[in-house]
Amino acid sequence: MTKLIDPFARPISYLRVSVTDRCDFRCTYCMAEHMQFLPKKDLLTLEELDRLCSTFIRLGVEKLRITGGEPLVRRDIMTFFRTISRHLETGALKELTLTTNGSQLARFASELAAIGIRRVNVSLDTLDAAKFQAITRWGRLPQVLEGVEAAKKAGLRVKINTVALKGFNEEELFPLLDWCAAEDHDLTFIEVMPMGEMGEEMRLDQYWPLKDLRARLAERYTLTELSERTGGPARYVRVEETGQKIGFITPLTHNFCESCNRVRVTCTGELFMCLGQEDNADLRAPLRAAADDAPLESAIRAAIARKPKGHDFDYSRQKVRGQVSRHMSHTGG
């Protein structure tokens, strides 16, 4: 079967799927505090999610990341993980993983490891309990740290994802680094992206370019560039003094679009060919229109043929350019 290749000769081998728009946190850069969540009928069922993901895998996707909202708050989500893991057993899928806020990891870490998940990304922007509650609105730091510890004990490799926020976690740069080194967690910093109900002043005030963060790190540590890629947009360095790996995801200060190998599907079946563009394709309709996957496959191929060369995120001239109106939780983190 012909694999998925976009108009710029990039093979599509990485799919990120949101399984719910709901979350037990309300992080200020991701969601509004009082969200209007989608009615259940609009969401893909677990069976539809399996069909959709399996079709992408048949078309050449080798890495599948499950996101949300918070994926582990979806009812019976472990049923989906158990069924989709069959593609790991056949070798068609090289990696099945998820991004989580960590709140439910204490409950599910052992089972996730048992079905073949080897690593998880945990979103964590601060180790200060009061600040954590402020930025997540509803979250409790001890619950997340307990989940991270459970994941580690289950044998899952943990990567901490930290959104760099000016005036919020600048002073925690080295404590976060030290904690991750002590716990043997990888760490990736992410630039805040212009998405959702944000207000230009708010995003401009929050924006901490990772080149500045990295320069601050280099004042204390020796950073060696790594050629390694994990299938995503991060660029990595090794901190020579500690031996740990640090990633940087820089959609604004360094555009990584030239090597983009991924697409995203929302919990309602919208396929976004680029995180930073509004163009999308409806996969729910062909999924529900026929028992066979031919219409779904045709819709996927037609959408990939429209995948753009890159996004338009830009904070230059004190104006947020390329702003996207949907919340990050809608597309999946």
CATH number at residue 170: 3.20.20.70
Q: For residue 61, what pLDDT is reported? A: 98
Q: For residue 228, what pLDDT is reported? A: 80
- pLDDT one-digit tens code per residue, 249-295: 986 555 557 778 999 999 999 999 987 777 899 999 999 999 999 99
Q: For residue 40, what pLDDT is reported? A: 87
- Is 6 part of a structural domain of the chain? no
Q: For residue 333, what pLDDT is reported? A: 54
- Is 323 part of a structural domain of the chain? yes
- The helix (run of H) or strand (run of E) holding residue 190 is strand 186-191
- pLDDT one-digit tens code per residue, 233-247: 789 999 999 999 999
Report the alpha-carbon distance of residue 289 to residue 181 in Å, rounded: 50
Please list the ranges in the chain whose pLDDT falls under 50. 195-201, 313-324, 326
Q: For residue 146, what pLDDT is reported? A: 98
- Is 179 part of a structural domain of the chain? yes
Q: What is the number of domains present in the chain? A: 1
Using CA of residue 255, residue 256, residue 260, residue 266, what is the dihedral sign? negative
Please list, in sequence order, all residues whose beta carbon lies within 8 angstroms of the beta carbon of residue 155, skipping any fewer than 6 positions away: 113
Q: For residue 25, what pLDDT is reported? A: 81
- Overall size of the chain counted in residues: 333
Q: For residue 331, what pLDDT is reported? A: 61
- Is 8 part of a structural domain of the chain? no
Instruction: Please answer whether residues 57 and 17 qualify as being in contact, where contact means their C-beta atoms are separated by less than 8 angstroms.
Output: no
- Is 7 part of a structural domain of the chain? no
- Is 3 part of a structural domain of the chain? no
- Is 9 part of a structural domain of the chain? no
Domain that holds residue 117: 14-331
